Amino acid sequence: MRVLQKPVPAQVLAPRPFLRTIARGLVIDHWRREELRKAWLETLAALPPGEVPSAEARELALELLDQVARMLDGLKAKARQAFLLAQCEGWAHVDIAQHLGVSVRTVERYLAEALFRCYQLRYDA
């Protein structure tokens, strides 16, 4: 589906490398989904029986995790790390800047880009 949605040159001059690129992307997507699924199932197994979400809620959460993972993969490494440190670890911008060796303003730009992508994920989907 994603291949059909992407703009492809009217004339693909090298179809084999093109198909190889598509196949590589599909394999990467498959392994990422498997890693997310495994982590999600481990998290669910640790929950008390009364707090386990329904099957539908579990699948929706997995889909959302996959979308967020794809969004994060689209960021530069430092931007991704800054976003994860801010959102998952609760680090302050100053601490992230020191850790990454960049200015606070750069951290703010990284976070703004990541949050904009989250916004797109939420409202453009």
What is the reported pLDDT for 72? Answer: 84
Q: Both 123 and 87 in a single domain?
A: yes
Q: Both 2 and 50 in a single domain?
A: yes
DSSP readout, 38-70?
HHHHHHHHHS-GGGPPPHHHHHHHHHHHHHHHH
What is the reported pLDDT for 122? Answer: 79
C-alpha torsion sign, points 42, 45, 51, 57: positive
Number of domains the chain is built from: 2
What is the reported pLDDT for 21? Answer: 78
Q: Is residue 92 part of a domain?
A: yes
Q: Is residue 102 part of a domain?
A: yes
What is the reported pLDDT for 41? Answer: 83
Q: Is the pTM of this model over 0.75?
A: no
In the predicted model, residues of the chain with pLDDT beneath 70 are: 1-13, 125
